[in-house]
Amino acid sequence: MDATFGGAGIERRWHGAGMPRSSLVSGVLAAMLVSTLFLTRFALTLGHSELSLALVVALFGTALLVLTGAVRISPTRFALFALAVATLLLSVMLGGSTSPSYLSFLNLILLYACWLFVVPDDRQFEAAMRTMRKMLLIIAVSGILQFFAQVAIKGPVLFNWQNVFPYTWISHGFNYVIPVPGLGGMNKSNGFFLLEPSSLSQMMAIGIIIELEFFRPSWRLAVLAAALALSFSGTGLVLFMAIVPLMLLTRGKGGILLVAVPALVGLALLVAGPRIALLFDRLQEFGSDQSSGFARFISPFFLFSDYLYPHLSTTLFGMGPGSIEGFSLKAAYLIHDPTWGKLIFEYGFLGAVPFVLYVAYCFFAGARSIWLASALFLNYLLLGGNLVDARLQVLILVLVVLQNRPRDVARAAVRTAARDLRSSARTARTA
């Protein structure tokens, strides 16, 4: 099977061939996707902490695949992971925190230990793409219906499931209900099942990339684009603009941009009208240290300057696992915990560099699709606090990390196949 598929690659290769047979791997990967797309709001409340359902499913699913021999370990990944864990442990011991969160550190180690493995069955890649495609279409339709249904069903119930499930079942600390500026009490769509409008926009951008990368253009693109628009969120748009134009240009389809970009601008002007000025107001957020744009993209630099850089030890070893949340309460400016910022702040540059090497190798060594891997990597690194949050990591695990073909695993598979062939030949001669 090819390492990447251009255009309608899956359709050309498997059209008429049918889906792969049902297997343990298919079931586990599908369960992981369900946990992070449809059950992502549910959590297990343990005292004052929450344990996301996606994390539980990811850990148990990976353990099941390992115990049944359904996955192979990558020796190179293992070596890089061991180096990363060693430096992270050093950071925990020598960092600036007097009471590091060992639970946060354990969460990190367990999550990224799942990245050591590769699914050897090539058919699972197609199965995962098709399953993801169906689920994202359901999310998109749900998001569209949710947005227009709020005209008849007033209040926040469509967005936060208020009084539908017990309080202790639902994840808290997320902005389920966000009004659309200038639209008279209408709320941004969050896809009904997802956590926030930004989550919907990111998933729809990934869905569009999957459609363009693996399938023939169809009406699904319009549905995904409509859901992306109704999220009124810039994160998915950033992801889309970072990947899709380059994808089209490298395939000699840059002419599409000459039509699509003016059409989108015209549609935005037609729909938004005078409210288009609100978009430019969002672009000016970066000048305010109390805005979400500042908190997500700029505040980590201020945080480093205030707390890491004054001392060589904290610059090298960080402030300790789980510490960024506490420091965010002390700062006068608004702080989020983007993956890169949380990693450096909590583990320092000495802990961060080997860890990033491990993560990058898992993303890109033997990548099936450089575009899908790049989209998820950008999302993981910049567009959210994903360092120890399993929700996006489940997608990364199912669609990229488990499916990639690093060279050491590919060579081992060839040797195993050769041994099996020789063994079969000897058995045939003996018979």
Cβ contacts of residue 413 below 8 Å, gap of 6+? 72, 120
**How many CB atoms are located within 10 Å of the residue 430 CB?**
6
- Per-residue model confidence as pLDDT tens digits over 293-302: 676 778 788 8
- Reduced to 3 states (helix: H, G, I; strand: E, B; else coil), residue 2 is coil
The one-letter code for the residue type at 64 is L
Residues 68-86 pLDDT 10s: 999 999 999 999 999 999 9
How many C-beta atoms lie closer than 10 Å to residue 41's C-beta? Answer: 22
| Average of per-residue pLDDT values in the chain | 82
Q: What pLDDT, on a 0 to 100 scale, did the predictor assign at position 83?
A: 97
Q: Tokens in use for 22?
A: 């049902």
What pLDDT was estimated at residue 192? Answer: 92
Mean pLDDT of 324-340: 80
Q: The pTM is what?
A: 0.86
Q: Span 191-205, mean pLDDT?
A: 92
Cα 191 to the chain's mean position, in Å? 16
- Look at residue 330 and tell me whether its pLDDT is greater than 70: yes
Of 2, 72, 127, whose CA–CA distance to 413 is shortest? 72
Tokens at residue 276, please?
A: 């288009």
In the chain, domain spans:
9-413
| Residue-wise pLDDT tens digits, 43-74 | 877 666 777 888 899 999 999 999 999 999 99
Which H or E run includes 68?
Answer: none
Does residue 275 contact residue 241 with C-beta atoms inside 8 Å? no
Mean pLDDT lowest for which of 93-97, 215-219, 273-277?
Answer: 273-277
Q: DSSP assignment of 96-163, as one string?
A: S-SS--HHHHHHHHHHHHGGGEE---THHHHHHHHHHHHHHHHHHHHHHHHHHHTTTS-SSHHHH-TT
| Whether the predicted pLDDT of 277 surpasses 60 | no
Q: Is the pLDDT of residue 268 over 60?
A: no
Lowest mean pLDDT among 49-53, 114-118, 288-292, 335-339: 288-292
| Confidence category of residue 206, pLDDT binned at 50, 70, 90 | very high
pLDDT tier at 415 (50, 70, 90 boundaries)?
low
Q: What is the pLDDT of residue 282?
A: 55
Count CB atoms within 10 A of the CB of residue 224: 27
Quick one: which H or E segment has residue 51? strand 49-52
Res 280 pLDDT > 80: no
| DSSP structure string for 176-219 | ---BPTTSTTPBPP-TTTSSSHHHHHHHHHHHHHHHHHHS---H
Q: What is the pLDDT of residues 5-38, one digit of tens each?
A: 444 444 433 333 343 334 889 999 999 999 999 9
pLDDT reading at 393 higher than 70: yes
Residue 410 in this model has a pLDDT that exceeds 60: yes
Provide the pLDDT for residue 254: 67
What is the distance between the alpha carbons of residues 139 and 52, in angstroms, rounded to a whole number? 20
- At 295 the pLDDT is 67
Q: What is the mean pLDDT of residues 350-360?
A: 96
Closest by CA position to 21, among listed 122, 117, 138: 122
Q: Which two tokens stand for residue 175?
A: 């902005």
Please list, in sequence order, all residues whose beta carbon lies within 8 angstroms of the beta carbon of residue 12, skipping any fewer than 6 positions away: none
Q: How many distinct helices (H) and strands (E) make up the chain? A: 20, 4
On whether the CB atoms of residues 181 and 278 are closer than 8 A, the answer is: yes
Could you say which DSSP state residue 287 is in? G
